[in-house]
């Protein structure tokens, strides 16, 4: 299975990942639900915790309108929302 590669919008300042390549890890999951991100953050998953901290608009009522992707930037795992990816 081939990985998809996206470019993160430059406006994403968190850990200086803006403008970098984001490799979607399709072997784990193509998209994540807000429920899963929240549950994983509570269990200590750093990618999920960082996403929640970075996105103040992430809705704990679980009404977040964007698809979420898990993948890697420079070999570190990240959750990226579809609105953070360049078209």
For residue 12, the model assigns a pLDDT of 95
Q: What is the pTM of this model?
A: 0.85
> Secondary structure of the chain in the HEC alphabet?
CCCEEEEECCCCCHHHCCCCEEEECCCCCCCECHHHHHHHHHCCCHHHHHHHHHCCCCCCCCCCCCCEEEEEECCEEEEEEHHHECC
Mean of pLDDT values over 9-35: 86
Q: pLDDT for 26-48, tens place per residue? A: 666 567 888 889 999 999 999 99
């Amino acid at each position: 299975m081939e990985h998809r590669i996206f470019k993160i919008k430059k406006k994403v300042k968190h850990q200086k990942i803006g403008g970098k390549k984001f490799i979607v890890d399709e072997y784990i999951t193509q998209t994540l639900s807000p429920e899963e991100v929240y549950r994983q953050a509570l269990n200590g998953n750093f990618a999920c915790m960082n996403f929640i901290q970075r996105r103040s608009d992430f809705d704990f009522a679980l009404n977040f309108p964007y698809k979420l992707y898990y993948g890697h930037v420079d070999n570190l795992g990240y959750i990226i929302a579809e609105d953070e990816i360049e078209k």
